[in-house]
Structure 1
């Protein structure tokens, strides 16, 4: 299967984000001299070390951290969910908007981490961005289907199930999820309005 067919299968934005994450992990592995586990030194530069952001002016870290992973299992699970959920959302709202949801949600989760966790914390991963994509899917479904109460319950359950395991950054998950839900609520309203107009036009 050619690269272009993967873009078609998963969506251009989703598969591009996948490729960026994989490329960054390869760089991490080379710098760490270990393909399975990334060194603390590399994570301190490419991930988000709160102290470095707050006191050493490492302003890039809240951005780069959403593409950085700590080991091969970490990136494997995250990239699986990116391809599954990102491709679904991309079919609904389009390529540029999926990229926007990923970046804004990931940044929201990392900023929440920055201000609510201690300076010595180092965090990394696409989880905040992925929770944003999941949150957008959940609220779009809730708005279009007219059942926001169930959508909020689903989002809450998703957060509880995935955010309180050892080593998991619950703040990144929460920030990404809330941001994704807000974006999804907006696009859900847009989609529902278009569907209402289309139904009214067909009716008359």
Structure 2
């Protein structure tokens, strides 16, 4: 079964490379997740994220290791197929360096949000929530979905129901939990909250401070491709440079 899944994911990757290409960081994350899943020495039960194992036992390395592990073949295949689309789309928009830093921050903050929600539920309801353990890349994928929808123009998703793109993450959160009750509802919710913190909160400013302005060279690239497609022999820097205000010569008045 693992070999079939590996062949299936490789087929998806090669198909995407043939059509559009996968950016390097997205491809590296996919290969890393597949390697960890197929390696016999890695056990998801030893790195899963829970309040007892992470907070009380002070095993903070689980915040980094839990997103890279998956329970079964279907779990890995669904997440990696989703990463091919969502990760490639965002990495092309913001650049590989910023995308790699963002994935690291999203993974850490999604884990912290997951632990915070579970701890709050344990205090309000029952201590069972402290023992719930979760692994997988799903939380980060939900954060990427919120960010991609935030960058896209507002509209409706095609289908029998009128669902706006900005609200698609909430609909997907409910549908996935209904179709797969074993999935981590709190983990997916944590990813949505981190994505909203980037789109509408201070997280975007923090990442901008570390990596620079978000669209630093996008305008240059857009103008370059526009000039190439139009067949114009114009330097892209000159075409993108805003026009300077006209200078008027001072006219002498005749007496």
Q: TM-score, normalised by structure 1?
A: 0.74
Aligned residues: 181
Aligned pairs for 1:30-41 within 5 A: 30-31=40-41
Change (3 A) 1:201 1:182: farther
Structure 2: 5+ residue runs without aligned partners? Answer: 1-9, 119-128, 156-162, 206-212, 224-239, 246-255
Pair 201,151 (structure 1): closer, same or farther in 2 beyond 3 Å = farther
> Any conservation in 1 of the 2:67–2:135 contact (CA below 8 Å)?
yes
Q: Verify: 1:175 aligned to 2:190, yes or no.
A: yes
Which residue of 121, 138, 141 corresponds with 1:130? 141
Match runs of 1:1-204 below 5 Å: 9-27=21-39, 30-31=40-41, 42-117=43-118, 118-141=129-152, 145=153, 150-164=164-178, 165-184=180-199, 186=204, 191=215, 201=242
What CA deviation, in whole Å up to 9, does each residue of 1:114-145 have, x standing for no partner? Answer: 2333221111000001111111101111xxx3
Residue 109 of structure 1: how far off its partner (Å):
2.5
3-state secondary structure, aligned to 2:130: coil
TM-score, length-scaled by structure 2: 0.60
Q: Output the aligned Cα RMSD.
A: 3.3
Match of 1:36 in 2: none
Change (3 A) 1:203 1:59: same
Structure ID, larger Rg? 2
